[in-house]
C-alpha cells in the first residue's frame, strides 16, 4: 500500500473550505471551523495532511479532560512553551504565540470538549485573543453539542462534513494506494462490505494485495479472490 493522501471528495472539500477559513480577514470574529463525520471516513488523516500543508498546530483532546486547564496545558506542549500554574497566564502565552506566528490550531477529538461550557468558552477566548483560525474535528454528533450554545455556534465560518465514499472515490483510492490491479467486480464487492468507509476500504485493499502476493500475481478479480478464500477482514461480521 502506498502512503499518500488521495484527493477524494471529502479531501477536496476540506482543502477548499479550509483555505477559505485561513484566508478570512482577521477582523472577523467567527474564525472557528468544524470538520465532522462518522468514524473511519478519513477525518484525522485528512486533517493531519491539511495541518502539515499549512504549518498548523495540532492537538488531540482526551476523554479524561474535564477542565480548560487540561486543554491549555496540551496546547502549551504542542507550542513548546512552558505550562503555567494559572490558566489566564497560559491563555496569554498561547494566544500571543499563535498571533505572532500566524499559525492556525487544529483540535482533534473535540467531542470531548464542546459538551462542557467552560471548554467552549476557552476555545472562543483562544480564537478571539489570537485572531487565528481554530478548527475542531469530531464525530457527526458534535454539531448537536455545539448548537447548545448559540454564542458558540455563531462563531463557525466553515462546516465540513465527511461523507461515505462513493464508487468513484473507491476507485480513486484503489488506483492511488493499491499496488495491484483490482477489477471492478472485486472493488464493488469490497465496497458492499465497506459501505463507503475509508478505513475499511483501505484495509480490504491491503488484504487483496496480500492475496495477490501469495499467488504471485499483479491483478485480482472477484473470482480469483474467492477461489483463494480471501477475506477483507472488515470487522467481526465480515
Q: What is the pLDDT of residues 88-106, one digit of tens each?
A: 999 999 999 999 999 999 9
Q: 70 and 157 in one domain?
A: yes
Within a domain: residue 4?
no
Within a domain: residue 116?
yes
Q: 220 and 156 in one domain?
A: no
Q: Could you tell me the residue range of the domain that residue 209 belongs to?
A: 167-227
pTM: 0.92
Closest CA to 50 of 140, 130, 120, 133: 133
**Tens digit of pLDDT for each residue in 190-219?**
999 899 999 999 999 999 999 999 999 999
Q: How many Cβ atoms from other residues are within 10 Å of residue 224's Cβ?
A: 17
Q: 115 and 53 in one domain?
A: yes
Q: Are 192 and 231 in contact (CB under 8 A)?
A: no
Q: 55 and 36 in one domain?
A: yes
Q: 132 and 15 in one domain?
A: yes
Q: Provide CB contacts within 8 A for 165, sequence distance 6+.
A: 8, 9, 10, 41, 173, 191, 196, 197, 198, 201
Residue at which a domain ends, from 143, 162, 181 = 162
Q: 132 and 191 in one domain?
A: no
Amino acid at each position: 500500500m502506498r502512503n499518500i493522501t488521495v484527493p477524494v471528495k471529502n479531501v477536496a472539500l476540506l482543502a477548499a473550505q479550509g483555505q477559505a477559513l485561513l484566508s478570512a480577514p482577521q477582523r472577523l470574529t467567527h474564525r472557528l471551523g468544524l470538520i465532522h463525520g462518522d468514524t473511519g471516513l478519513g477525518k484525522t488523516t485528512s486533517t493531519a495532511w491539511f495541518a502539515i500543508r499549512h504549518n498548523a498546530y495540532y492537538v488531540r483532546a482526551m476523554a479524561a479532560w474535564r477542565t480548560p486547564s487540561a486543554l491549555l496545558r496540551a496546547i502549551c506542549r504542542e507550542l513548546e512553551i512552558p505550562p503555567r500554574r494559572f490558566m489566564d497566564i497560559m491563555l496569554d502565552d498561547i494566544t500571543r504565540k499563535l498571533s505572532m506566528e500566524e499559525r492556525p490550531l487544529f483540535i482533534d477529538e473535540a467531542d470531548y470538549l464542546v459538551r462542557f461550557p467552560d471548554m467552549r468558552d476557552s476555545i472562543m477566548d483562544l480564537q478571539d485573543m489570537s485572531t487565528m483560525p481554530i478548527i475542531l474535528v469530531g464525530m457527526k454528533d458534535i454539531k448537536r453539542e455545539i448548537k447548545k450554545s448559540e454564542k458558540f455556534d455563531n462563531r463557525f465560518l466553515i462546516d465540513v462534513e465527511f461523507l461515505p465514499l462513493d464508487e468513484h472515490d473507491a476507485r480513486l483510492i484503489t488506483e492511488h494506494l493499491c499496488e495491484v490491479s483490482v477489477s471492478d467486480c472485486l472493488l464493488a464487492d469490497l465496497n458492499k462490505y465497506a459501505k463507503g468507509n475509508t478505513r475499511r476500504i483501505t484495509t480490504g485493499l491491503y488484504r487483496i494485495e496480500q492475496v495477490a502476493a501469495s499467488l504471485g500475481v499483479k491483478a485480482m478479480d472477484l473470482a480469483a479472490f474467492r477461489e483463494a478464500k480471501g477475506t477483507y477482514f472488515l470487522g467481526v461480521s465480515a
